[in-house]
Structure 1
Amino acid sequence: MTDTSARDFDVVVIGAGPAGGAAARAAAAAGARVCLLERAELPRYKTCGGGLVGISRDHISAAGLDLAQLARVEVDALTITLDGRYRVTRRRRDGSPILAMVMRPELDAALVDAARAAGAEVRTSTVVTAVRDDGPDGAVVEIRGGPDLRASAVVGADGTSSRAASYVGVRCDQVDVGLEAELKAPAEIAARWERRMLLDWGPVPGSYGWIFPKGDVLTVGVIGARDDGPAMRAYYERFVTQLGLAGLPRLHDSGHLTRVRADGSPVRRGRVLVAGDAAGLLDPWTREGISFALRSGRLAGAAAAAAAGGDLGALDAYPARVEAVFGTEMTAGRTLLKLYGRRPEVMHGLMSALPGGFSLFTRIIDGRSTVARQLGRPGVTRIVAALSR
């Protein structure tokens, strides 16, 4: 067993989003002395659609959280449009949800509470200025206005502007901009969107828009390539106006960047691991990141706790685990984004008109199938190759 007398903690986790909360809980549940650092006070607003796919729901339930209390709405109907036209609505016949809708401040706070219940110490209003490996003795986290923290291992889950990611050398080859508002909806508009979401295949290549209902709040946004920033801003404003929502009070109106990890990018340097957005782990097409954050956070927390117990091989194994869990998913997402960027009308036809298209979509969202599995089917492979020419 490694000497721990000079360490403040076994594991320090930076960032209290889904990846950080999952990492801190996993490490604490494994018996490690854990400190979870967050630069803001909790709960704090976070720009995010807040839609939970099946894998996210499973991980949240496994953390001991009551999803029925956490979810504002469970959506079982989907309206699909192509740049605001050709509107089609599909509904799940069994009434089971397509997505569970949450408010990110509430989700993050609940995950932090679960980490605290597992034994993690939580420190908010704590700004990390640097992270570095400290050789055989562990790793160091530098704190603004406070003493350094020393740990056997550090998990960086501090988002797209991560200090830990800079230290590790994470490389991203896709950067997107999301523009989003939370709108206060009067009763008649809230009723119109009750249990129904909208996806719009956007006019900017690779872009799409959404409405996610959350009771008397509607989350409305668009996402697409950062390089198309002015076109994305125009799409956003037109999208909100076309939906008749421009006059609603805006509780929040903000933008954010998402960064997708390049193939072969490191996710570990010495005793420092990165997870979630800090590692660039999200779906390249949908830009869905919560399920990636929860899974990678749990993997990182478990590896860090094992290292604190003397199993340094767990750190060596972490990059391979990340690749095994996320590699094929992200490759498939890139393939689909490329095809969608060229032929958005194909996606609209698949979802709105092709027999079985909506059912396939819900199976993927539920986690009963994957995009990678579907793209691997011989007939689908040939079709994708033909459409990609």
Structure 2
Amino acid sequence: MRYDAVVVGAGPAGLTFARFLAAKGYRVAVLEKNEQLAVKPCGEGISARVLETADIRQGDASRFISRKIRGALVVAPNGKGVEISQALGMGYIIDKKNFLKVLGEYAADAGAEIYMKEQVRDAKVTEGVVKVHARTLEAEARLLVGADGYMSFISKRFGLENPGERRIIPTVQYVMTHVAMPDPDLAYFYLGNEVAPKG
């Protein structure tokens, strides 16, 4: 299939780019390797500016905002904390799955075609056209966007990856309820090997 652009990765960047490009009349395909959105662990915090940048429509933010926060508290290994609310400004704790669902709806409504379970296996440029081979889909486009995250296949394929050491950092994510927070209007970041070995 022929497109003006193929976007690899259906995260916030990929879906937002696809939406704005499709809204200008370009034919856009989004290829996501996972079966569903929001598979990767995430801190699920965004700044208020994200809502403006992503042009979230009135009323849609309530579909994914869990809590409004005024800033963050960074806690040192000795237990002392520093509030950095003014530097960060207001933000939100979100439900990432619903956030991406909203962004996906916006992209699809603008005309982008979103394909799930389409891991890109190869991509190459031939005579000014990018040819992308995914699990079941083959596409050609004038533009390829690698929005496939930290371990980007697209960056690696085209030699754009950071030459520094790549590390896989195991992550565990929990959804917790009924937790007493000293100040629930702050996001808390704890530093030190006692609470986050090598993190």
TM-score when normalising by structure 2: 0.82
Alpha-carbon distance between aligned partners in 2 of 1:80 and 1:162, rounded to the nearest angstrom: 30
Letter in 2 for 1:32: Y
CA contact (8 A) 2:41 2:173 kept: no
Alignment match, 1:129 = 121
Matched, 1:64 2:57: yes
Contact 2:4 2:142 in 1 (8 A): yes
User: Within the alignment, does 1:163 sit opposite 2:157 as a pair?
Assistant: no
TM alignment of 1:359-370, pairs within 5 A: none
- 1 or 2, which has the higher helix percentage? 1
Name 1:11's counterpart in structure 2: 5
Listed as ranges, the matches of 1:22-61 within 5 Å are: 22-60=16-54
Query: C-alpha separation between the residues in 2 aligned to 1:83 and 1:177?
Result: 24
Aligned partner of 2:140 in structure 1 is 150
Paired residue type of 1:161: M
Contact 1:38–1:125, Cα closer than 8 Å, also in 2: yes
CA offset at residue 171 of structure 1?
3.3
**In the aligned structure 2, how far is the partner of 1:31 from the partner of 1:50?**
32
The aligned residue for residue 196 of structure 1 is 186
Q: Is the 8 A contact 1:34 1:121 kept in 2?
A: yes
CA contact (8 A) 1:72 1:101 kept: yes
1:115 corresponding residue in structure 2: 107
Please report how far the alpha carbon of residue 77 of structure 1 lies from its aligned counterpart in structure 2 after TM superposition: 5.3
**Mapped contact 1:64–1:114 kept (Cα < 8 A):** no
Residue by residue over 1:192-245, the C-alpha shift from the partner in whole angstroms, topping out at 9 and shown as x without a partner, is 5532321234359xxxx7xxxxxxxxxxxx5xxxxxxxx42xx6xxxxxxxxxx
* AA aligned opposite 1:108: L
Tell me: higher relative CO, structure 1 or 2? Use CA pairs within 8 A at least 6 residues apart: 2
Q: Residues 78 and 199 of structure 1 are in contact (CA less than 8 Å); yes or no, is this contact kept in structure 2?
A: yes
Which SS does the other structure have where 1:182 is aligned? coil
Identity score, percent: 22
Larger gyration radius, structure 1 or structure 2:
1
Q: What's the C-alpha RMSD, in Å, of the aligned pairs? A: 2.9
Instruction: Report how many aligned residue pairs link the two structures.
Output: 196
User: What residue ranges of structure 2 are gaps of 5+ in the alignment?
Assistant: none
Instruction: Identify which of 98, 101, 106 aligns with 2:93.
Output: 101
In structure 1, list runs of 5 or more residues that go unmatched. Answer: 1-6, 210-221, 223-230, 236-389
Counterpart amino acid of 1:47?
A: P
TM-score w.r.t. length of structure 1 = 0.45
Over 6 Å off, 4+ runs: none
- Letter aligned with residue 82 of structure 1: A
The residue that corresponds to 1:183 in the other structure is 174
Mark the CA change 1:84 to 1:47 in structure 2 (over 3 Å): closer, same or farther: farther
Secondary structure of 2:80's match?
strand
